[in-house]
């Protein structure tokens, strides 16, 4: 467990956490260094100091371009280095450089932190994870402008996949390409990956079961209910059909990840809170990966702090995704999260 590099001179929190979801002793959320269980104030760090990454708005710029082509923009994910497919470090003379040496990774956990030092990069990096079925996720790799330290906890698919970390400068791109294979797992029927920009502080991913509501620990898989344990969905006493939140984030960028197998029939709802004191211009992206299918990519612009975005409903059986741009102002009914009856 490690924190991402400190991008903020004031020592602001920017933490990323991974849960090992395999059976075993429950981890203490506090003891692991996670601050998610802190009170509201602890999560509401200021976000102004985050504006130190020159290229950090790339995601938002892309999101705006996509959104201009359609409202509830369902777009494809972009591979930031489509020609870099062999494991190793791919770079040109003058491109950013890294200290990475290991590119073949066997994992038994559902997520892994990638970290190191990159030199000569302009701004933050990008990550891209793709498996053989074409399921994928993408987002930002926060990178310290002075030290070049980077670190990001990434959700992993079950089995073989490529993980790419990409930085650029005026000469071109550095791509770190990893062959990652996870074993002892079952690919989830449903996977949700949320990312946001550097002015978001922070966004919170929620998966609501049929008939459930937000911030109800029995029916909402989120930071209070789904990290160190899981709500018992589906067959009572059977953990293989319970949801997990294996990557959580309390700062800028994300990602956060929820996965889930053997859904009960009904309508699931994906909700996203803008939790802390982030900027009202914060933009983000939800990627929905259904087993064996290409990802569905949903974008949201200008999610105001204290608001809740209804990103999509997912109907089972069939996994029918219905995107939404519904934005609910919960600022008048907020106490440790939105207390309104949603959805």
- Minimum CB separation from Ca ion for residue 275, in Å? 6
- Minimum CB separation from Ca ion for residue 184, in Å? 20
279 near Ca ion (CB under 5 A): no
SS3 333: helix
Among 59, 197, 204, 279, binds Ca ion (CB under 5 A): 204
Quick one: 52 or 241, whose CB is closer to Ca ion? 241
Among 210, 234, 277, 319, binds Ca ion (CB under 5 A): 234
Region of 3-11, 87-95, 103-111, 228-236 interacting with Ca ion (CB under 5 A): 228-236
What six digits make up the tokens of 259?
């996965």
- Minimum CB separation from Ca ion for residue 312, in Å? 18
Quick one: 114 or 196, whose CB is closer to Ca ion? 196
- Minimum CB separation from Ca ion for residue 120, in Å? 31
- Minimum CB separation from Ca ion for residue 177, in Å? 28
Q: Which residue has the tokens 């030199």?
A: 119
How far is Cα 312 from Cα 322, in angstroms, rounded to an integer?
Answer: 5
Quick one: 97 or 264, whose CB is closer to Ca ion? 264
According to DSSP, residue 158 is labeled S
**Which region holds residue 47: left if phi is over 0, alpha if psi is between -120 and 50, else beta?**
alpha
- Minimum CB separation from Ca ion for residue 182, in Å? 22
Among 20, 28, 132, 238, binds Ca ion (CB under 5 A): 238
- Minimum CB separation from Ca ion for residue 223, in Å? 6
242 near Ca ion (CB under 5 A): yes
Quick one: 39 or 146, whose CB is closer to Ca ion? 39
Tally of CB atoms within 10 A around 238 = 11
Handedness of CA 305, 310, 312, 313 (dihedral sign): positive
Tally of CB atoms within 10 A around 47 = 22
- Minimum CB separation from Ca ion for residue 233, in Å? 5
How far is Cα 32 from Cα 18, in angstroms, rounded to an integer?
Answer: 10
Strands 284-290 and 296-300: antiparallel
329 near Ca ion (CB under 5 A): no
Number of residues forming the site for Ca ion (CB under 5 A): 8
216 near Ca ion (CB under 5 A): no
Among 241, 261, 264, 319, binds Ca ion (CB under 5 A): 241
- Minimum CB separation from Ca ion for residue 36, in Å? 7
How far is Cα 76 from Cα 73, in angstroms, rounded to an integer?
Answer: 10
Among 33, 232, 266, 333, binds Ca ion (CB under 5 A): 232
202 near Ca ion (CB under 5 A): yes
Q: Residues of 26-44 as b/e, b for ≥16 C-beta within 10 angstroms?
A: ebebeeeebbbeeeeeebb
What six digits make up the tokens of 258?
């929820």
Question: With contact defined as beta carbons under 8 Å apart, do 138 and 77 qualify?
Answer: yes
Task: Kindly list the distances between the CA atom of residue 221 and the CA atoms of 90, 92, 218, 269, 301, in Å, as whole numbers in the listed order.
Answer: 39, 44, 8, 11, 24
Closest CA to 145 of 126, 122, 171: 122
189 near Ca ion (CB under 5 A): no
Q: Contact residues for Ca ion (CB under 5 A)?
A: 202, 204, 232, 234-235, 238, 241-242
């Amino acid at each position: 467990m490690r924190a991402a590099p400190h991008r903020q001179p004031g020592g602001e929190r920017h933490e990323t956490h991974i849960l090992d979801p395999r059976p075993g002793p429950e981890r203490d959320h506090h003891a692991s260094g996670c601050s998610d269980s802190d009170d509201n104030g602890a999560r509401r760090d200021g976000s102004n100091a985050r504006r130190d990454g020159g290229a950090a708005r790339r995601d938002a710029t892309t999101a705006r371009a996509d959104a201009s082509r359609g409202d509830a923009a369902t777009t494809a994910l972009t591979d930031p280095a489509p020609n870099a497919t062999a494991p190793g470090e791919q770079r040109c003379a003058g491109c950013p450089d890294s200290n990475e040496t290991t590119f073949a990774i066997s994992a038994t956990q559902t997520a892994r932190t990638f970290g190191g030092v990159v030199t000569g990069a302009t701004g933050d990096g990008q990550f891209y994870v793709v498996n053989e079925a074409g399921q994928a996720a993408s987002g930002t790799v926060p990178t310290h402008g002075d030290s070049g330290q980077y670190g990001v906890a990434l959700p992993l698919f079950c089995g073989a996949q490529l993980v790419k970390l990409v930085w650029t400068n005026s000469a071109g791109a550095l791509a770190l390409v990893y062959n990652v294979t996870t074993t002892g797992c079952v690919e989830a029927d449903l996977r949700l990956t949320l990312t946001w920009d550097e002015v978001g502080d922070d966004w919170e991913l929620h998966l609501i079961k049929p008939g459930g509501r937000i911030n109800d620990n029995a029916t909402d898989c989120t930071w209070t209910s789904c990290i160190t344990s899981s709500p018992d969905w589906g067959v009572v006493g059977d953990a293989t059909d319970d949801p997990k939140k294996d990557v959580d984030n309390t700062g800028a960028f994300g990602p956060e990840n929820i996965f889930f197998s053997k859904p009960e029939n009904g309508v699931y709802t994906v909700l996203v809170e803008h939790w802390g004191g982030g900027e009202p211009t914060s933009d983000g992206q939800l990627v929905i990966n259904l087993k064996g299918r290409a990802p569905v990519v949903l974008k949201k612009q200008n999610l105001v702090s204290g608001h809740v975005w209804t990103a999509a409903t997912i109907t089972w059986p069939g996994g029918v995704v219905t995107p939404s741009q519904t934005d609910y102002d919960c600022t008048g009914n907020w106490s440790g999260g939105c207390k309104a009856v949603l959805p």
